[in-house]
């Protein structure tokens, strides 16, 4: 079958839809799930297309106007991508389909995809689209919230098995989940029957990071809570979350964690101290 190349220079822009808190939540969790965001007709059309093009990389679908409009440039998805990657983000040029025939045993362990980097930078997003209902029986991907911050070798994760905090991406048709590329995830065993499609593709940043999502005019960075999941896990995680948030805001060069109780360890509701916060942000907060 002839390979059809997508336009590698194509970008997209739209209004951002995330707030400060939602951007911080993405930095904490490493993913956002948008349930049933693609219309049913498009899900059926996509499934029919994938039945006609069962290859692992159905590139041609990126040239289908109906697919680009409703999935790749879906307003709900684009608003999130615009918030996290900035203006004029670059559209996917490679389309992969994790198409499986169920039932399927799958011993694939926890892993990050090849190319994951450990950095506060956020240059790309990995996105998954389920064009059909995908309950546990059809082997949805599992991921572990917050593990995009976990720097470990795969062999040290293999014993994890079932992790209590793992989240299944089981979802109804038309659901899309947007992930940090470095999040730890795994395929799961499918006990049902039939074909399951799971499309996977990436968006890229073209703009320098700047805090231009939905913002308050005079933000108080000392009141922002970077603690993971109610503060139950390693507090140092808060520093990594704050570092990524600072980078996204365009203050990546200005934040240097001072240790101890300095910001962001002291951040959160009722905090009076701006110690450790970059000076220009302390001034913005009037502290
Ligand atoms: Fe993977």
CA of 186 to the centre of ligand 1 (A): 6
CA of 283 to the centre of ligand 1 (A): 43
Q: Which of 58-62, 152-156, 208-212 has the lowest mean pLDDT?
A: 152-156
The CATH code for residues 11-204 is: 2.60.120.620
CA of 150 to the centre of ligand 1 (A): 16
The predicted pLDDT at position 196 comes to 96
Average pLDDT over residues 106-120: 87
CA of 144 to the centre of ligand 1 (A): 13
The predicted pLDDT at position 163 comes to 62
Helices 236-249 and 20-29 cross at an angle (nearest 10°) of 130
The predicted pLDDT at position 34 comes to 97
All CATH 2.60.120.620 domain ranges in the chain, comma separated: 11-204
The predicted pLDDT at position 260 comes to 87
CA of 118 to the centre of ligand 1 (A): 16
Ion ligand 1: residues, Cβ under 5 Å: 113
pLDDT at 61 over 70: yes
- pLDDT band, very low/low/confident/very high, at 155 (cuts 50, 70, 90): low
Higher-scoring residue by pLDDT: 142, 153: 142
CA of 147 to the centre of ligand 1 (A): 14
CA of 30 to the centre of ligand 1 (A): 15
Q: What integer best gives the mean pLDDT of the chain?
A: 90
Percent of the chain with pLDDT over 90: 69
Q: Which tens digits make up the pLDDT trace of 26-40?
A: 999 999 999 999 999
Gap between the terminal Cα atoms of the chain: 63
Average pLDDT over residues 199-210: 98
């Amino acid at each position: 079958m002839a390979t059809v190349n997508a336009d590698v220079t194509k970008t997209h822009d739209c209004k951002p839809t995330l707030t400060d808190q939602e951007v911080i939540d993405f930095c904490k969790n490493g993913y956002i799930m948008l349930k049933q965001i693609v219309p049913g007709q498009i899900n059926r059309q996509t499934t029919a297309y994938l039945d006609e093009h069962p290859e692992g990389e159905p590139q041609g679908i990126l040239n289908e106007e109906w697919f680009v409009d409703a999935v790749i440039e879906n307003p709900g998805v684009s608003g999130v991508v615009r918030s996290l990657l900035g203006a004029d983000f670059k559209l996917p040029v490679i389309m992969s389909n994790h198409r499986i025939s169920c039932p399927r045993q799958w011993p694939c362990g926890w892993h990050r995809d090849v190319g994951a980097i450990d950095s506060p930078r956020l240059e790309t997003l990995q996105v998954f689209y389920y064009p059909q209902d995908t309950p546990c029986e059809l082997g949805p991907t599992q991921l572990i919230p917050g593990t995009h911050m976990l720097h470990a070798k795969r062999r040290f994760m293999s014993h994890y098995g079932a992790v209590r905090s793992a989240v299944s991406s089981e979802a109804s048709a038309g659901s899309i989940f947007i992930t940090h590329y470095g999040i730890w995830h795994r395929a799961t065993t499918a006990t049902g029957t039939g074909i399951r499609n799971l499309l996977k593709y990436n968006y890229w940043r073209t703009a320098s990071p700047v805090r231009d999502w939905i913002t308050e005019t005079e933000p108080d960075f000392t009141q922002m809570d970077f603690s993971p999941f109610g503060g139950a896990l390693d507090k140092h995680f808060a520093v990594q979350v704050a570092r990524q948030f600072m980078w996204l805001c365009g203050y990546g060069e200005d934040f240097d964690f001072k240790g101890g109780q300095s910001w962001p360890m002291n951040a959160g509701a009722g905090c009076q101290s701006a110690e450790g916060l970059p000076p220009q942000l302390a001034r913005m907060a009037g502290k």
